[in-house]
Chain A
Amino acid sequence: MSLEKQVVGEVVLEVHNLSASYNRKPVLWDIDFQLTAGQLVGIVGPNGSGKTTLLRNIMGLMEADSGYVRLFGKGLNEVRDRVSYVPQRESVDWDFPVSVREVVEMGRYRPKNLLRRLKTSDQDLVDQALEKVGMLEYAARQIGQLSGGQQQRVFLARALAQDADLYLMDEPFVGVDAATEDAILKVLTELKEDGKTVVIVHHDLQTAFQYFDSMVLLNTRLVAVGPKNSVFTKENLQEAYGGRLTVLSKLSQVIASSEFPVREKGFKEKTGKGDPQDG
């Protein structure tokens, strides 16, 4: 979509001193970080740590108490076309009478084409997105007839159809089968290789370390942000997860002894310190 060239290292997301609450109960305290382009970023933290709230705030789906969010150095409304949001699978009614294709078509809806039918070029993008996640043959199915993993892939296809530069996904790996996990990871890797940025809310630490390049570690406040190795230290994890530590200290030992393949590709600048650059 965008004609501007994606520069690896460009700041795509800046969250500035963001605080938010549900029913006056604070869920996020002064969250402040920046993310640069071309990486897979995991937002991790214990249950109720505000991961989903952070994502909803970035997407303007709820009011912040203070602070602001900038995307590509601009306000959300100026860059909507470049941002794609994948809500949690459980957030919709899968008995709804629509087909797989109709759901993916929704990724092509725009304020511009309000009241208008989708164009052939839109339909072509929908086909390609369905093919990428391996769901083209199921295009005519009603969404309730799919397995959980297939439903998640439909949501992913809808995001791909948006053809964005920044993808924000809420728990896309929850309740999916191995085939879907592979399919999602493959798509995510391709997106990254195209210089796009994917930010994923994820609750499982073990797989988070395998999937992502960078992490935002959250527990109501920001515990740590940066390349995964610098975030996943014993101290940080203890801070984020508080009391339940026996498993975690084991896990951070495993990580420290580098049993996992550690890669750091296309990541030159430490986030949080550089100034936002113009794209």
Chain B
Amino acid sequence: MDNWWIYDTSLWLVAGGTMLLSITAALVGGFTFLQKRSLVGDAVAHSILPGVAIAFLISGQKDPLWLMLGALISGWLSLAVMDYLNKHTKLSEDTAIASVLSVFFGVGILLLTYIQKKASGEQSGLEGFLFGQAAAMRLNDLYTYCALALLLISITIVFFKEFKLLSFNPEFAQSLGLPVGILRVLLNSMMVLAIALGIQAVGVVLMAALLITPSAAARNLSNGLKGMLWVSVIVAGFSALVGTLISFSAPSMPTGPWVVVCLSAIALLSLFLAPQKGLVARLMMQKRHQKKITDENLLKAIYHLGEKENSFAAWFHVEEITGIRDFETDVLKSALKRLIRKGLLLRQGHSFQFSRAGLDEARRIVRLHRLWEMYLNKRLRLKADHIHPNAESMEHIISPEIEAQLLEELDYPERDPHQSPIPYKP
């Protein structure tokens, strides 16, 4: 296998630079994400294209400072037009965003085609602006871009406290007398610049993904702003590295799509696998609750048997238990196993008996069931024949605090509305 590229310093410089640009976009994009301006970010990314093209036409070369200036102007112009359409026309916000995006992008493509056809266009490398082409980047340009990226990162660190407040509660910031107008212009300019820089890495079309996806992936994993930004920065940096390496290893492979594929994969993983908030974690919690409900229902069934036989110390055969309440055979088997393992039931052949802890637990569940029936009957004035189904589900949910409150409010009743005794701890 041909491993020349591992030792290519310029490759690693470009990779590092691309990572830095992506990290900057993710960092600044974190605030865009939190201000719920993701769509605006997308529109600005597309609107930057005509500015870049005009800057190229005027300067006649791909000078990074000229291109950034053009990007900044046309990005800001698109923001201003969106703002104007919002305030002074009856167009809804999404319409304003969509029209600005398509008009600016259309003009940009037009100009790009024109440049491509001119003689100088062939060496321009401007086509990389659509999907990003890290491999085509010149080192000197990259240094300028990286300097700008570092500037943006330092501004974010210096203004962190203010940007946090501005994103969370701008009116309060204004009421404190903070220069909200200036801060907003600053944050918007940083967004435009970060987008213009990120475009060098992933291109215009997929830029919004670089701005927003890292934060979307990170939000599931952290409850704090700093934590969220750190995670998003790591996600963006890693994806940029993967994208660049692939684009270098396969000739004429655009960088952007690979960066975005990698980003999206991580975001999906976070969506599914994040602790607590992820879909898998929530499914597992549902599973746990389902098991708890089965176990409690089983204990309750055995308790009812005990009531019938007038002895909680008796041994009950499995068939007696299923005679009281229907359980699926598999479910019953595993529930019995769990209860034995927890030390709540004792087994002898096919018969079962409460342990002391098991009897206490069964009493608690029956008590909650009957207390809740009492409450529904007394407080909500539901008839005695309507309350059982509701209590069947509530008995598994009522916490010790709510139980204490119920007991106090009902004044420790002895019998439920069906005249069954309410069991207390002996």
Contact = CB atoms under 8 A, between A and B. Distances in A.
Contacts of B171: 61, 85, 87, 91
Nearest to A112: B177
A83 B227 CA distance: 33
Contacts, number: 77
A61 B177 contact: no
Interface string A91-102: 111001111001
A61 B165 CA distance: 16
Contact of A99 (B36, B175, B224): B224
A106 B169 contact: yes
B224 A97 contact: yes
B178 A98 contact: no
Given A97-B222, A97-B224, A102 B164 contact: yes
A80 B227 CA distance: 33
Nearest to B161: A109
B190 to A, nearest CB: 15
Contact of A96 (B34, B172, B178): B34
B167 interface: yes
B176 interface: yes
B147 to A, nearest CB: 21
Interface residues of B, number: 27
A96 B224 contact: no
Contacts of A120: none
Contact of A87 (B159, B161, B164, B172): B172
A106 B224 contact: no
Contacts of B225: 96-98, 102
Interface in B201-238: 219, 222-225, 227-228
Contact of A92 (B164, B169, B222): B169
A114 B36 CA distance: 25
Contacts of B175: 59-61, 80, 83-85
B242 interface: no
Contacts of A189: none
Nearest to A103: B168
A111 B167 contact: no
B7 to A, nearest CB: 42
- Which 9 residue pairs are nearest across A and B when measured between Cβ atoms? A85-B175, A142-B223, A80-B177, A97-B225, A92-B169, A59-B175, A96-B168, A97-B228, A106-B165
Interface residues of A, number: 29
Contacts of B227: 97
29 contacts: A60-B175, A61-B171, A61-B175, A85-B171, A85-B172, A87-B171, A87-B172, A91-B171, A96-B167, A97-B34, A97-B219, A97-B223, A97-B224, A98-B224, A98-B225, A103-B168, A106-B169, A109-B161, A110-B176, A111-B178, A114-B162, A114-B178, A114-B179, A115-B159, A115-B162, A117-B161, A142-B223, A144-B223, A162-B176
Given A91-B169, A92-B169, A97-B223, A109 B176 contact: yes
Interface in A108-126: 109-111, 114-115, 117
Interface of B: 34, 36, 158-159, 161-162, 164-165, 167-169, 171-179, 219, 222-225, 227-228
Contacts of A102: 164, 225
A111 B177 contact: yes
B174 A98 contact: no
A77 interface: yes
Contacts of A142: 223-224
Nearest to B164: A98
B169 A80 contact: no
B228 A106 contact: no
A84 B177 CA distance: 11
Contacts of B223: 97, 99, 142, 144
Contacts of A98: 164, 168, 224-225
A92 B168 contact: yes
A73 B25 CA distance: 47
Contacts of A162: 176
B224 A115 contact: no
Nearest to A115: B158
Contacts of B178: 109-111, 114
A114 B222 CA distance: 26
B399 to A, nearest CB: 15
A60 B175 CA distance: 7
Given A91-B169, A109-B161, A109-B162, A77 B224 contact: no
A108 to B, nearest CB: 9
B142 to A, nearest CB: 30
A115 B34 CA distance: 21
A142 B174 CA distance: 24
Given A97-B224, A98-B164, A102-B164, A87 B169 contact: yes
A228 B178 CA distance: 36
B173 A109 contact: yes
A143 B158 CA distance: 24
Contacts of B222: 97
